Structure 1
Amino acid sequence: MNPRHDVTGLILAGGQGRRMGGRDKGLEPFAGRSLVAHVRERLQGRLASVWINANRHHEIYRSEADRVIGDLEGDYQGPLMGIYTGLRSVQTPWLLVVPCDTPALPMDLVERMVAGIGEGDIAVAHDGERLHPVVALLRVSLADDLEAALAGGERKIDRWYARHDWYRVDFSDCPDSFANLNTEDDKQRLELRLNQEAPTG
């Protein structure tokens, strides 16, 4: 698999941002830029293209992606619907999904996810303590199976993954890279930590 030809990146930014007071999380400012801009930086130039799954503010998101797509079905059905939308929409055989609220993702995320999938259908990031189901590399041919699962009422990502040949990708050397920002306090804490870790001089 050559990620620059075979993999489309999809940043999931389609949620309601309830714990952020209903604000669009991907557009929240963080360290001088939007959260989604930090995430895109981790993917840009490493994949065939970078898309964003968003259900509002498409005109703003277009400046951060090669394409912006809304959920194929409405009512904010969660990240599994965003993943399904990506599987149905991209032209590459593989899809790499990441959330919009993880601005410190490893810069070598793409390479490590591709190396970790082996012959499997799905690779999921693991920080040494827990899985991060919305940081995943998926075979696009799974779209039909996911459509059936969604039609049956499935909304739990890990339960759907368990139906397939999936692998953990070890990121235990950088567990803090997967911190996701659900609240204003989360954002301020990570901003402070990154500032403290930044090299001086």
Structure 2
Amino acid sequence: MSVQIDAVILAGGMARRMGGNDKGLVLLNGQPMIQHVIDKIAPQVGNITINANRHQQQYAELGYDVISDQDSGYLGPLAGMVTALTQTHADLLMVVPCDCPMLPKELVSRMHQELLANDAELAVASDGKREQPVVLLMKPSLHQSMKAFLDDGQRKIDMWYAQHRYVVTSFEDQPNAFVNVNTPEQKQQLANTLAK
């Protein structure tokens, strides 16, 4: 039995540390940052959806469906995840942020194996030191629990998934896999790394 795994790329934030620029659309080595993420994740999943709360037209031009948070007000990554879980028809949903251009090529397969091996409801990625709460593989049945958590005024993803059967998938063999870009300085550092 084949398992359908889709992905949502979260690009719905305010990006205050990037001077308010839409992080997913900031150019990194000549391409929008989100394009680097798409290039990494597209071969690993069935369908990709982009969660964006502004510049939806520009994101749509990348060729993927764009969804906006059902709850307005920039409530953080959980709001984008809730919306994506509501709309997916896949067996599992992979969540990644738009500002992690060095994601592992075997991200989905390794997280899926751990999820199955541990009979977990979701898997969270780790760089070997820290969990990466916006890099998740999860069952869409978690939607109601996540929505209730968000409706209760909660925002911290790790507090939400601690309520469920979860497994941590370590990518300590690729310590830079989840390097993300929050400032123009970090963007330049990463551009230099990618150019090597």
Q: Give the TM-score range, shorter chain.
A: over 0.9
What is the Cα deviation at residue 83 of structure 1? 0.8
Moved beyond 4 Å, runs of 4+: none
Q: Percent identity?
A: 42
Paired residues for 1:175-194 under 5 Å: 175-194=175-194
**Structure 1 residues not aligned, in runs of 5+:** 197-201
SS in 2 for 1:73: coil
Shift of the 168–65 alpha-carbon distance from structure 1 to 2, 3 Å rule, reads: farther
SS in 2 for 1:39: helix
SS in 2 for 1:85: helix
Partner of 1:95: 93
SS in 1 for 2:14: coil
Paired residues for 1:53-68 under 5 Å: 53-68=51-66
- The reply on whether 1:25 has 2:23 as its aligned counterpart is yes
What TM-score comes out, normalization by structure 2 length? 0.95
What is the Cα deviation at residue 91 of structure 1? 1.1
Paired residues for 1:51-200 under 5 Å: 51-118=49-116, 119-196=119-196
CA RMSD of aligned residues (A): 1.2
Shift of the 9–33 alpha-carbon distance from structure 1 to 2, 3 Å rule, reads: same
**Structure 2 residues not aligned, in runs of 5+:** none
What is the Cα deviation at residue 63 of structure 1? 2.6
Equivalenced residue count is 194
- Contact 1:93 1:140 survives alignment (8 Å): yes
Distance 2:63 2:164 in 1: 30
Distance 1:45 1:177 in 2: 17
Shift of the 72–100 alpha-carbon distance from structure 1 to 2, 3 Å rule, reads: same
What TM-score comes out, normalization by structure 1 length? 0.93
